Chain A
Amino acid sequence: MSDSLVTFSNVSRFYGEVLGINKVSLSIPPGITSLVGPNGSGKTTLMNLMCGLIRPTQGEIGVLGISPQHPERLCRVLGYCAQFDAFPKGLTGYQFVYSFLRMFGMSAAECDQRTRTVLQLAGMTEAANRTVAAYSKGMRQRIKLAQAIAHDPRVVVLDEPLNGLDPLARAEAIALFRQWGDEGRHVIVSSHILHEVDRISDQVILLSHGYVVAEGQIHSVRSEVQEQPMQILVRCDRPHVLAARLFQQDHVVEAKLTSDGKGLLLRTRDADRFYLLLNRVVLESGLEVESVAPADDDVSSVYQYLIGEGASV
């Protein structure tokens, strides 16, 4: 087992006869990794397995070389912000973070200092002495996040961490995840907000019905989906000229002008041949190209291609 990766080797988990995940093999490097898939696809099962909250029916899991069967070692390097919106009764935000930090064997002074630091990071200092039961949904989400990271873990697992956060808090949280990713930590996030997943992820893992459908950097994943023609948006001064040339090509299956008349959205089965053709057209007809960009190598499109229209994230 690698000391710098989160690894799954042929891992399956069944709940009685119900499939959780099946034969999953993964190596998750440092950085931000997003788990994407419809409800019941196995995202939470995958997270619970790597955190040791459940055990695999078969296969092996390693988190930086540590088996989840050893919580006394694993939980020193891992923090998990689970999706459950439940808290021990009667505790204030400060007591909630501080009390569980004491389980790490740190001194009272160190726990106090860490608690204050992390509450500040989560923007919860002012509400720290109010009971968690009196918090709003967004505050509960933030205090949960603070509790999960209070011991400064190297692997942070976050199940729908942006749920309930207002736009400002969401932006701050994303910036924090980005910072952790840049510091070389593993940040493993499940989210149903696909455009945000797109913005923050270094790599994605797409899950469907308990199977890993695709994994890797989103651009690589998209290029592997060959049965779906690639969409490319070209903005230029004379898109109709380009369109006329494109219709002579067998790899181009569709081309349409954008509503402002300044762009051409096309679908091609061979992006490389299209780019060569575009170069030729530019040289031959003096076309002024403002931008050329893939229009569907984002998580949302890949998700639709691989998992389908009907699936709810």
Chain B
Amino acid sequence: MNALWIAQVGAVLRLELKKTFLSRRGWWIYLLALGPVGLTLIHWLFEAGHPGGRHSLGDDVTAFAALFLLYYLRAGIFFGCMGIFSNLFRGEMLERTLHYYFLTPLRREILVVGKYLAGLTVALAVFVTSVVLSFLFIGRHFGAAYSDYIWHGPGLSQLGWYALVAALACVGYGAVFLMCGLLFKNPMIAAAVVWVWEGINPFLPTLLKKISVIFYLKSLCPVQVPVPPPFSIMVIDAEATPAWVAVPGLLAVAAILLIYSAISARQAEINYGE
């Protein structure tokens, strides 16, 4: 990358953040991220009023693992990234403002990278922060025991992995939805297809399982969540992918999707449907 390209990526990033970060239009995304933070905060405050407790620290660790897999990965980050990334291009088409970018001496590939980084910055700031706060709140009512679990037990490592998986989810789903926003007039239909595909992942044959984002993310989660019956009998077990394959693999998939998006952006025309 030469100096001009870096300056241009920076200019796109700044403009996008100015336009979108903490904008009123994105309230539902912030709500998606704040929801579990609020729940875990309420859990802390509620349980703090019941000393002695009705459950163990291990229960909260498992509960967080379930919250992370079933809420963050399957819903919060998925739909949050859909809202952030699919609007980067499609939103500008709908608002009839994309031509301002196309009329600057910007390679379309640079525009894709700049917009993606802007979306990623917002997604990471919102969802990784949310994951970290939720993790810190969920067992807070155990007081010193929870601090000890974090600082002297596996807590800190688990927190690091959750943050990494959340970040990788933003990277992967971000690339998917940026491409959807460029290729489809209605990215919601594509998003629904991806959501169903990701949702039925546990029940897919091993080979098909691997054509998804969630499979690799699940492999990286530090605490596995058992599938309850009767669904457990339909689950097809596949060997978890080691981290050294899953992390670069996800990054590579995101890079391929971004390259394809850049090629599509190169071919894109301004047609606001007039």
Determine how close the nearest CB of chain B comes to the CB of A156; give it in whole angstroms.
12
- Which of A51, A53, A91 neighbours the largest number of chain B CB atoms within 10 Å of its CB? A53
A72, B106: Cβ atoms under 8 Å? yes
A55: nearest residue on chain B (CB-CB)? B269
Does A26 touch B at the CB level, under 8 Å? no
Chain B residues within an 8 Å CB radius of A102: 7, 10-11, 14-15
Determine how close the nearest CB of chain A comes to the CB of B124; give it in whole angstroms.
21
Chain B residues within an 8 Å CB radius of A147: 100
Chain B residues within an 8 Å CB radius of A52: 102
Q: Which of A53, A79, A99, A105 contacts B99 (CB 8 A)?
A: A53
B9: nearest residue on chain A (CB-CB)? A103
Does B4 touch A at the CB level, under 8 Å? yes
B270, A53: Cβ atoms under 8 Å? yes
- Which of A15, A55, A86, A148 neighbours the largest number of chain B CB atoms within 10 Å of its CB? A86
A153: nearest residue on chain B (CB-CB)? B103
Known contacts A53-B102, A54-B269: A91-B19 contact under CB 8 Å: yes
Q: Chain A: interface residue count, which band?
A: 20 to 34
Does B152 touch A at the CB level, under 8 Å? no
Chain B residues within an 8 Å CB radius of A55: 269
B8, A90: Cβ atoms under 8 Å? no
A180 CA to B22 CA in the complex, in Å?
Answer: 41
Chain A residues within an 8 Å CB radius of B95: 86, 88-89
A95: nearest residue on chain B (CB-CB)? B18
A97 CA to B10 CA in the complex, in Å?
Answer: 16
Q: Which of A78, A90, A105 contacts B19 (CB 8 A)?
A: A90
List 16 additional A-B contacts (Cβ < 8 Å) besides A54-B270, A84-B97, A88-B15: A15-B271, A51-B103, A53-B270, A71-B104, A71-B108, A73-B105, A75-B105, A75-B106, A86-B96, A89-B23, A89-B25, A90-B18, A99-B14, A102-B11, A103-B101, A105-B8
Can you list 23 pairs linking A and B with CB atoms under 8 Å apart?
Answer: A53-B270, A54-B270, A71-B103, A72-B106, A75-B103, A75-B105, A79-B103, A80-B99, A84-B96, A84-B97, A88-B15, A88-B100, A91-B19, A99-B15, A100-B100, A100-B104, A102-B10, A102-B11, A103-B12, A103-B104, A104-B105, A105-B8, A105-B105
